[in-house]
Chain A
Amino acid sequence: MIQLTEVRKYFGEKRALGPISFEIPPGGAVGFLGLNGAGKTTLLRILATDLRSSAGEVEIAGINVAANPHEVRKKIGYLPETPPLYRDMAVGEYLKFVGQIKGLSPDRVDNRVREVEEYTQLTSVHDEFTQNLSHGYRQRVGIAQAIIHKPELLILDEPTKGLDPVQVLELRGLIMRLKEEHTILVSSHVLTEISQTCDRVFVLNQGELIASGSEDEISANLSGTYRIMLGARMASDTRAEDLVHFVQGLPDITSVEMVQQDDQLLTLLVQSPTDCRGSLSRSLVKSGHDLVRLELGSNELESLFVELLGQKVN
């Protein structure tokens, strides 16, 4: 869906981004994480065709952005940090306007406005002027305008900025639903937001990409170790020490630590240089234990983020 090759952006003499290269396949949600000034907005503006890169190549849906920005614009929906709303327009009228400039035909646009309003829960404010809306509703209108033409790529820059916790939850739910139909890029400096909505994370610092992958992959790459949380109901004649010993003896296991024991229910933190969840589960079940929990990534994104930035600084 997106391919960036050696992209750089300078504002005057100051380097704001790059060199940066990556590829994002279609589908799912990708989060761009970084502190303020890390280059997230610059990168998203380049992808949204609002800004031209100083060097390098950007391709979206196989189209070179510099050579054919007009075609690329048909395929993207963009919500900047501040939703681009005309204050003198009612919500329905505004969405109709955006639908039309995005290329929807006049006979389709009214139906699509209704659909999008239902989807983003804006039906009740259809006739309200955008200047009278609360911040949460404005964000929703911002998302509605970004998806009105069913773009392949949806770019959301800090979509939950300034929202209260309830609105954040609602918007997060909306993003999760949108993920099923669009490739979504979300930027944020709020770690939990990225962690809960995105399948893949790109960490930016001072205009450079310092890590990418799923949360677990970043964690594994950082420490060289996969941290697996294992929950098992032990067979009736087994003691906790025996199970720990058994797991330690399995291939590719570097360490096992008992986290919790509740009668026959045991929780272990297993460390391995590989993602060995498959062999681990098979071995446990074969030995007569019940597997009740098996998950990767005990490292929270927050600690990873701090660790990454710390490494960079060092």
Chain B
Amino acid sequence: MNGLRVIFQREINAYLRSSVGYILAATVLMLDGLLFYTQALGPDTEARVSGQVLAIFFYTTSGLTVIASLVLSVRLIAEERQLGTQVLLNTSPVRDWEIVLGKFLAALVFITGITLSTLYMPLMIVVNGKVSIAQILVGYSGLVLLGAAVLAIGVFATSLTRSQLVATAVGAGITAVMFLFWPLSTVVDPPMSRVLSALALHGRHFSGFQQGLLHTRDVFYYLAVTYFFLLLATKILEAKRWE
């Protein structure tokens, strides 16, 4: 566990002092504000109830969370290989899972921090409309779980290669395919449609969070995706460490 703690601390410090972290945070917050104004509040706001406004906010924010998670995660291990620092981790008494989990948790804390910075928008809805704090908490839980799943996909992609470009392509590819499962599930017949909707990264599993409804099925799904890809990343790292 010592290795996990030390790697987590190093990564968090790296985010806090790197311009990339701040640029990413600023970009996400700016776009989220714009989307909130143009999409959630929009020209026909009068016709919407505050619950709908909140749902649209979580929908648009989920898209930005996915993109930010990918951007953040695809560099995590590939960059170590590019800079030649991977050898330091390889020859130190730290376990592969500690490396993967330490980096993942630091990225998750950073993404959660960015996501929580958007809290002023739902609070505006609370002040001016009728939504409960529980609805907001559930929505943010969904964003964090979705972010964790995409981060795990990104960590898996970055464990495969030393090229951040290739890692981005692989990570974005897997995420896009898992997103497309949802629209695909609406045009194919059962039982395939049920399988695809159950595996879809967004759609069925996120819509509950969006509406403020907490289903253990959805929580379990995101945790399972996260665990699966982190496990794959650990195995890849293990194989490559002694390659």
Contact = CB atoms under 8 A, between A and B. Distances in A.
B17 A88 contact: yes
Interface stretch (A69-77, A188-196, A284-292): A69-77
Contact of B14 (A73, A80, A88): A88
Given A80-B87, A101-B7, A73 B92 contact: yes
B88 interface: yes
B7 A84 contact: no
A78 B87 contact: yes
Nearest to A84: B88
Contacts of A74: 93
Interface in B1-46: 2-3, 6-7, 10, 13-14, 17-18
Given A88-B17, A103-B2, A50 B91 contact: yes
Nearest to B6: A100
B156 to A, nearest CB: 22
Contacts of A100: 2, 6
Contacts of B174: none
Given A88-B14, A101-B3, A73 B91 contact: yes
B91 A70 contact: no
B22 to A, nearest CB: 13
Contacts of B184: none
B124 interface: no
Contact of B93 (A70, A85, A97): A70
A46 B33 CA distance: 53
Contact of B10 (A82, A97, A102): A97
A112 to B, nearest CB: 14
Contacts of B13: 93
A98 B88 contact: yes
Question: Which of B3, B13, B92 is packed against the most chain A CB atoms within 10 Å?
Answer: B92
Contacts of A52: 242-243
Nearest to B5: A100
Question: Which of B2, B10, B93, B95 is packed against the most chain A CB atoms within 10 Å?
Answer: B93
B190 interface: no
A68 B152 CA distance: 28
Nearest to B241: A50
A101 B84 contact: no
A51 B94 contact: no
Nearest to A97: B10
Nearest to A52: B242
B117 interface: no
A87 interface: yes
A145 interface: yes
Contacts, number: 62
A51 B242 contact: yes
A54 B18 CA distance: 40
Interface residues of B, number: 24
B47 interface: no
Contacts of B127: none
Interface string A39-76: 00000000011111000000000000000011101101
A86 interface: yes
Contact of A49 (B7, B84, B90): B90
Nearest to A83: B84
B17 A101 contact: no
B219 to A, nearest CB: 33
Contacts of A80: 84, 87
A73 B88 contact: no
B110 to A, nearest CB: 15
A145 B88 contact: yes
A67 to B, nearest CB: 12
Contacts of B90: 49-50
B93 A73 contact: yes
A88 B87 CA distance: 17
Nearest to B18: A88
B83 interface: yes
Contacts of A50: 87, 90-91
Given A80-B84, A86-B85, A87-B83, A101 B6 contact: yes
B82 to A, nearest CB: 11
Contacts of B86: 84
A86 B79 CA distance: 11
A102 B242 CA distance: 18
A76 B92 CA distance: 8
B208 to A, nearest CB: 40
A258 B34 CA distance: 93
Interface in A232-284: none
10 contacts: A49-B90, A70-B93, A80-B84, A84-B84, A84-B88, A85-B85, A101-B3, A101-B6, A101-B7, A101-B94
Interface of B: 2-3, 6-7, 10, 13-14, 17-18, 83-95, 242-243
Given A49-B91, A86-B85, A101-B94, 11 more contacts: A51-B243, A52-B243, A69-B242, A73-B91, A80-B84, A84-B84, A89-B10, A97-B10, A101-B92, A101-B93, A103-B2
